A and B are shown apart, each in its own frame.
Chain A
Amino acid sequence: MSFRDLQSRLADTGYVASDGLAMALHLAISLGRPLLLEGEAGVGKTAVAQALAELQAARLIRLQCYEGLDAAASIYEWNYQRQLLAIRASDQAGAAVEEQIFSEKYLLKRPLLEAITQNEPPVLLIDEIDRADEAFEAFLLEILADFQVSIPELGTIAAIARPVVVLTSNGTRELSDALRRRCLFSYVEYPSLEQELTILRRRLPGIAEHLAGQVVGAVQLLRREDLEKKPGVAETLDWAAALMGLDVADLGDDPATVQATLVCVLKTQADQAAVPPEVAARLIGSAA
């Protein structure tokens, strides 16, 4: 399978990938290496993993990162309540109890361990890795390089089937070189006009061609404006859906309604103030 095949099969699931991204995904699958995706919020980094899981009919295992995420919440934890009960209920000697309570029966699998103990290769999505702290990256290294987890009481658990790993980052922090070197890399840009039109048509099949063109044109222009939060692809889809729901056929028809629906694309108070009706009218005028 070439990367073009992958690209068109992704498009069938509703995900329109650029050449660079399709190639990176293709290599990640064929070389068995993790893929690190960076880009602005809303360019569709998380959706890649979802589309890939759908395409491969694989399970999607997702680990959402946050500050303070540790091994207990991401890899594994012992089931302490059960362990305590087992110790109290047991009449055996210490060593035997120890053997018993540190067995797999008492192990709670968190996403990372879960991902390497599947029989069928799943898609593992490690979302917003830049939100976790540096220490957490170190936990990841063993898993990403060798696909194995070391548990002191149990030994090393190696992957049954290698998951396809996708990491995403919004770039709120520099990631360590060690992590970067284990991954393939792709920088995801906002889609071009044509790509975004294709996305809109795939996701909202009922949309009129004229409205789709206007919406995408206006959003593309908005991204060039000086905004705090630039609208992502999800915002475009929301806006188009809202306009369809309100039966707006042309953005020029009803300026008041269109202005009201801009809440779908402008997500901060400052941004809404920066696009008053006159500016919106100008954007829509030049987008058409």
Chain B
Amino acid sequence: MSRNGPEAALAGFVAHLRLNGARIGPQETQGALAALAAIDAADPVTARLALKSVLACDRRQWERFDELFEAYWLARGRRRERLEPRPSPHVTSARPALWDGHLPPDDGSAGAPSTPEDGAGDAAADGEGRLIATTADNLMRTDLRLLTTPEQLAEAAEVAERLARALQDRVSRRRRAALSGPQPDLRRTIRRSLASGGEPFDLMMRRRVERPLRVIALVDVSGSMKLYAHVFLAFLKGLIGRWTQAEGYLFHTKLMRVTEALRDRDSLRAIGRLSLMAEGFAGGTKIGGALRQFNDRHAKTALNGRSVVIILSDGYDTEAPERLGAEMKRLRKRARRVVWLNPLLGWRDYAPIAAGMTAALPHVDAFLAANTLERLAALEAEFARI
């Protein structure tokens, strides 16, 4: 242990875990100290097991813990420097070109929150959030591929965010007050009956509150979708930034969960995390494989009876179409509704004849065009019917 004593070393370890994504704080440090006091801490194997049950608080952390433990305690001198929370030049340079459109430049001003997150965005939330078509008319009808200049992209991102807020609006209003309902509320009835000498004149009722929908978006970022990915990522970010019940995944040949990264308000850190995930951007597509990964690993947690799955993809798959069909069938079993947004569908003369698309179609509730922002906005009506 160091000169600062075990407490400081342990606090350093907690900070190390936190840097690696654990959401823990002083309370956990205290718990860890208590745990070490309760066992024979001189034995490193025992100490590791004890720290693991106190400091790892979910499965992801549990699986990574041993690696992080070794990195910190066995290569301590070198790791120490990384506790300094400053932007590393490596992270900023690795930022994918894809994100240049809707994230602030990474010079000195990079520490400020990104523009779509604040100010103007909030102002639009109070009832005016749906005036998309009137304010951005021309842009709305342009094919998303043709939006290339940074200004246009920024505008498109903003529109996508407003759309996300409009969707949220629609869904959260589904809650109803429990003025009447199918079940009597005996507790309140009896309480009230006291006033009338025990005669329950007023029968109080209760009903279950409807809960908001959960949206899970799977975005194809493979080569064939490269031109659309900018806008869809902005859409995803808007959706997740505004809506706690949303989850985002990217896929090309593999699937990655990006909810945490996109929810991060510190855009610099978000870039760093996304740049790692973006490896393989604009490569081939394995939609079936990615969906399989989703079904195996995430579907159980992410989906429930109130989930809507949105798949943003052109359906060009490099794998056998049967596989995609089978995985879509599995997905359909768990989700309440599956919506497939295909940017090609908006083109004249397009027919979904790609083998993968044909295999997937029977398991899709809605197959919609997503080549312009106007078409994306039409999603709102689709959601209202759910």
Checking B45, B194, B208, B301 against A171 with a beta-carbon cut-off of 8 angstroms, the contacting residue is B301
A186 to B62, CA, bound (A): 8
Given A80-B190, A181-B27: A94 touches B197 (CB 8 Å cut-off): yes
Checking B198, B208, B301 against A84 with a beta-carbon cut-off of 8 angstroms, the contacting residue is B198
Contact between B301 and A88, CB atoms less than 8 A apart: no
| Chain B residues within 8 Å of A97, by CB | 194, 198
Contact between A172 and B301, CB atoms less than 8 A apart: yes
A57-98 vs B, CB cutoff 8 Å, 1 = contact: the mask equals 000000000001000100001101001100110100010011
**Count: A-B pairs, CB below 8 Å:** 99
B17-49 vs A, CB cutoff 8 Å, 1 = contact: the mask equals 000000110011001001100111000011001
Contact between B46 and A185, CB atoms less than 8 A apart: no
| Chain B residues within 8 Å of A23, by CB | 39, 46, 49-50, 52-53
Find residues 165-196 in chain A having any chain B CB closer than 8 Å to their own CB.
Answer: 170-175, 177, 180-181, 183-187
B279-305 vs A, CB cutoff 8 Å, 1 = contact: the mask equals 000000000000000000000110010
A30 CB–B CB distance under 8 Å: yes
**Nearest-neighbor residue (CB-CB) of B57 within chain A:** A180
Contact between A3 and B49, CB atoms less than 8 A apart: yes
| Chain A residues within 8 Å of B186, by CB | 78, 80
B96 CB–A CB distance under 8 Å: no
* Chain B CB within 10 A, most for which of A27, A33, A94, A170: A27
A97 to B62, CA, bound (A): 54
A256 CB–B CB distance under 8 Å: no
Contact between B50 and A173, CB atoms less than 8 A apart: no
| Chain A residues within 8 Å of B190, by CB | 78, 80, 83-84, 87, 101
| Chain B residues within 8 Å of A186, by CB | 53, 62
A128 to B194, CA, bound (A): 39
**Nearest-neighbor residue (CB-CB) of B186 within chain A:** A80
A269 to B56, CA, bound (A): 37
| Chain B residues within 8 Å of A252, by CB | none
A31 CB–B CB distance under 8 Å: yes
A2 to B52, CA, bound (A): 17
B193 CB–A CB distance under 8 Å: yes
A209 CB–B CB distance under 8 Å: no
* Chain A CB within 10 A, most for which of B34, B38, B49, B211: B49
Q: Name B's interface SS.
A: helix
Contact between B300 and A31, CB atoms less than 8 A apart: no
| Chain B residues within 8 Å of A133, by CB | 211
A173 to B304, CA, bound (A): 8
A126 to B319, CA, bound (A): 44
Given A171-B300, A174-B301, A180-B57: A19 touches B49 (CB 8 Å cut-off): yes
| Chain A residues within 8 Å of B24, by CB | 181
Checking A78, A80, A180 against B58 with a beta-carbon cut-off of 8 angstroms, the contacting residue is A180
Given A23-B50, A78-B187, A173-B304: A88 touches B59 (CB 8 Å cut-off): no
Contact between A30 and B53, CB atoms less than 8 A apart: no
Distance in Å: Cβ of A237 to nearest Cβ of chain B: 25
Contact between B52 and A31, CB atoms less than 8 A apart: no
| Chain A residues within 8 Å of B110, by CB | none
Contact between B39 and A3, CB atoms less than 8 A apart: yes
Given A24-B53, A68-B208: A172 touches B300 (CB 8 Å cut-off): yes
**Nearest-neighbor residue (CB-CB) of B299 within chain A:** A172
| Chain B residues within 8 Å of A24, by CB | 49, 53
Contact between B200 and A84, CB atoms less than 8 A apart: yes
Distance in Å: Cβ of B188 to nearest Cβ of chain A: 11
A20 to B62, CA, bound (A): 10
A35 to B35, CA, bound (A): 13
Distance in Å: Cβ of A273 to nearest Cβ of chain B: 13
A267 CB–B CB distance under 8 Å: no
A168 to B207, CA, bound (A): 29
**Nearest-neighbor residue (CB-CB) of A80 within chain B:** B186
Contact between A31 and B301, CB atoms less than 8 A apart: no
A23 to B32, CA, bound (A): 13
A127 CB–B CB distance under 8 Å: no
Given A94-B197, A171-B300, A173-B301: A185 touches B49 (CB 8 Å cut-off): no
Q: List 14 A-B contacts (CB under 8 A).
A: A3-B49, A23-B50, A23-B53, A26-B38, A26-B39, A133-B211, A180-B58, A181-B27, A183-B57, A185-B57, A185-B62, A186-B53, A187-B59, A187-B62
Which positions in B face A, CB cutoff 8 Å?
A: 23-24, 27-28, 31, 34-35, 38-40, 45-46, 49-50, 52-54, 56-59, 62-63, 186-187, 190, 193-195, 197-198, 200, 208, 211, 300-301, 304
